[in-house]
Amino acid sequence: MSSFPREQLEAFRPRHDHLVCIDSDGCAFDTMGIKQRECFCPWMIAAFGLQPVAKAARECKEFADLYSKTRGANRHLTIRRILTELLPSHPQTLARGFSVPELPAYLAWIDDPRTVLSNEGLAAAIEAELDSGTKEELKRILTWSERVNWAVGEIVRGVPPFPGVRESLRHLEGKADVVVVSATPLEALRREWAEHEIDRYAALICGQEMGTKREHIEIVGAGYPRERVLMVGDAPGDLRSAEANEVLFFAIIPGQEEASWAEFVDEGLPRFFEGTYRGAYENGILDRFERALPEKPPWEDVT
């Protein structure tokens, strides 16, 4: 198998009749909170000069990445939401008259349909850019993203999988192909899954360098009937990726992770293998998931 991540993805071939795609951060591992609070947020405040509204910036980061419908989205997409939507309207920002930095080159890079939202994508854009101002702006973003990855490597250690994950993987062994589908950098994924010796259950680990979650599912799921592919995730982006590929979805509901994994083993998996998952059962899962993550931040409801 090729050492190039994208080629590994495209070389994937089914070994079993069923496929289960599993997200990692916040779904298999209880790592989202520590990563956002201790790694992403401090470096975001430093990189974008948000010290005067640090409390507001932290509230916006946690809402965008942990407690709302953009939970689990690519880091650049949530930074865009914070800088253009959440932070400008936050009461502390307004009260202090703080001007949130505008980053037109960065936002244009995010919105470019050719963009790969990763450090490699940023490096390629910097290399190809002729305008010095744009170059410097993108370099600033790349430095932030690299420092976040460094902080994750230094801080996020020893965080085990949620109770029920290992049992679920054991239930899947020999019955279904398991593929990790994530927007996290590949190096961090491989390290976390290997650290807890559950990487052996995964036929393939897919990170942000290999494309979007939607693309991951599309490529690895090509050899299976749609009703035999199940995406397990904790974020709306995971659901959208499943829906785009017309495959099944099981939600690990934020704040109810242990109960969700127990239900997955006791009821979700049996229904999946029996062919009775789609319909009333899946609709009930989707309804609970929809109600768990709001669209608007709590400060917008304050009168």
Query: pLDDT tens-digit profile of 109-145?
Result: 999 999 988 899 999 999 998 899 999 999 999 999 9
- Cβ–Cβ under 8 Å, residues 133 and 90: no
Query: pLDDT tens-digit profile of 144-191?
Result: 999 999 998 899 888 999 999 999 999 999 999 999 999 888 988 999
Tell me what the mean pLDDT of segment 209-215 comes to: 91
DSSP string, 139-200: HHHHHHHHHHHHHHHHH--S-PBPTTHHHHHHHHTTTEEEEEE-SS-HHHHHHHHHHTT-GG
What confidence category does residue 302 fall into, taking pLDDT thresholds of 50, 70 and 90? Answer: low
- Running DSSP on this structure, what letter comes out for residue 222? G
Question: Mean pLDDT over all residues of the chain?
Answer: 94
- Cβ–Cβ under 8 Å, residues 11 and 202: no
Q: Which domains does the chain have, with CATH numbers?
A: 5-30+163-292 (3.40.50.1000), 32-155 (no CATH)
How many residues does the structure list for the chain? 303
Query: pLDDT tens-digit profile of 39-48?
Result: 999 999 999 9
Residue 169 corresponds to which amino acid? L
Residue 2 is predicted with a pLDDT of: 42
Tell me what the mean pLDDT of segment 287-295 comes to: 94
Question: With the C-alpha atoms ordered 259, 265, 268, 271, is the resulting torsion angle positive or negative?
Answer: negative
Task: Enumerate long-range contacts of 30-34, CB under 8 Å, 24 or more apart.
Answer: 30/159, 30/160, 30/161, 30/162, 30/257, 31/156, 31/159, 31/192, 32/65, 32/66, 32/71, 32/72, 33/66, 34/155, 34/156, 34/159
- Cβ–Cβ under 8 Å, residues 289 and 252: no
